[in-house]
Amino acid sequence: MASNGNVAFGDVNLAADPVRGKYAGSPGAGGWPSIRVYNKRTGYDGADAGDWKDANGHAGQMCDVFGDEDIMQSYVEEMAGVLLCTSGMECICKKRESGECKKVEYEYYKKFKDAPMADIESRLKLLAGSMEKSGHKDEWMNQRVAILRLITKLRQAQSGAADDKQEL
């Protein structure tokens, strides 16, 4: 998550700096670690991770629930509104190298990743026609084209690998 500029973590030692008050929440209450998120949606008051944990049906202590890397990643992705790519997760987007992928890009990828090639080719033709007709290319159109082309390349690579296995 360190490579993602939309996510930052901070650590407070309550013994050395007993942070309290309106914007600090109740550090330590409800379990350790205390996790709060601050963003435009939560405002200065922030939001307690325990509320998210409960709303998503994760029973147990904070350390056990958020000690699970998949749960912690889901929490950060949802609260930050981004998708954090890891080596174990497919992520197709222009920002792949930085580890950041917008959810809308990933949702578009998921929509077409298993679609028939005819549907993908048709969508590519439609987007190309729209860009030609409008005379300009907006960022989202370019991203969709890039995602569909990447899916096509992945399918071709998988098809080649499958052909190689059949020859053996």
Taking 90 as the threshold, does the pLDDT of residue 128 lie above it?
A: no
Amino acid letter, residue 25: G
Selected residue with higher pLDDT from 162 and 118: 118
- Whole-angstrom distance, CA of residue 108 vs CA of residue 101: 11
Taking 80 as the threshold, does the pLDDT of residue 30 lie above it?
A: no
- Whole-angstrom distance, CA of residue 59 vs CA of residue 31: 12
Structure tokens of 90? Answer: 């497919």
- Whole-angstrom distance, CA of residue 62 vs CA of residue 45: 20
Selected residue with higher pLDDT from 53 and 156: 53
pLDDT band of residue 93 (cuts 50, 70, 90) is: low
pLDDT band of residue 21 (cuts 50, 70, 90) is: confident
Give just the sign of the alpha carbon dihedral 141, 146, 147, 151. Answer: positive
Structure tokens of 85? Answer: 């790519």
- Whole-angstrom distance, CA of residue 88 vs CA of residue 108: 19
Taking 90 as the threshold, does the pLDDT of residue 24 lie above it?
A: no
pLDDT band of residue 89 (cuts 50, 70, 90) is: very low
DSSP code string of 106-158: HHHHHHHTTS-HHHHHHHHHHHHHHHHHHS---HHHHHHHHHHHHHHHHHHHH
pLDDT band of residue 90 (cuts 50, 70, 90) is: low
Taking 70 as the threshold, does the pLDDT of residue 62 lie above it?
A: yes
Q: Are 62 and 30 in contact (CB under 8 A)?
A: yes
pLDDT of residue 126: 92
User: pLDDT tens for residues 129-161?
Assistant: 887 787 666 778 878 887 888 788 777 766 765
Spatial neighbors of 108 by CB under 8 A, at least 6 apart, are: 143, 144, 147
pTM, two decimals, is: 0.56
